[in-house]
Amino acid sequence: MAINQPTTTITAGEMVPADAAIRAALASTREADAELVRLCATYQAAVDAYNADSGKLEAVDDPLWHRVQELEAKIDGIQPAGLAGVMAKARIAHVRAKAGESEPWATDVLNDMMRLFGPATA
């Protein structure tokens, strides 16, 4: 007994297999989230650099700390388009939580997940 493969409409009258549509959607959100993913990786590297060098300067005078804050502001201004962006922010939230500093990252990730994947009433 053969199982019919589900289909979905992509453009006017064009039918494609659902798995192809899912792959296309994932690829487009990965592309849309590329800058966010890059910023999150850069942010984590900046935090690591600051932590490795901390104590030499007060935070207010430390250019490494200023870089961390600059990246936080950029990341805060971007909403993920899909799972790649949510996961990039989740990685930061995870590292921050292990350091005892999960906010605002954890709340942002949960809000992003509900916005993208939660019920319409959430």
- 60-85 pLDDT, tens digit per residue, is 888 999 999 999 999 988 999 988 99
Q: Is residue 21 part of a domain?
A: no
Domain presence at residue 110:
yes
Q: Is residue 14 part of a domain?
A: no
Instruction: Output the average pLDDT for the chain.
Output: 79
Q: Residue 49 belongs to what domain range? A: 35-117
Residue at 46 is within a domain: yes
Whether the pTM exceeds 0.75: the reply is no
**Among 97, 99, 53, 96, CA closest to 72:** 96
Q: Is the pLDDT at 54 greater than 80, yes or no?
A: no
pLDDT for residue 16 is more than 60: no
| Distance, CA of 3 to CA of 64 (rounded, Å) | 57
Task: Work out the angle at residue 58's Cα, subtended by the Cα atoms of residues 56 and 64, and round it to the nearest 5 degrees.
Answer: 75
Compare 8 and 91 and report the one with higher pLDDT.
91
Note the pLDDT of residue 89: 92
Identify whether 109 is part of a domain: yes
Spatial separation of the C-alpha atoms in residues 103 and 70, rounded to whole Å: 17
Mean pLDDT of 45-59: 84
74 lies in some domain: yes
> Count of domains in the chain?
1
CA dist 95 and 61 (Å) reads 25
**What is the Cα–Cα distance from 18 to 30, expressed in whole angstroms?**
18
Is residue 1, in this structure, part of any structural domain at all?
Answer: no
Per the domain annotation, does 99 fall within a domain? yes
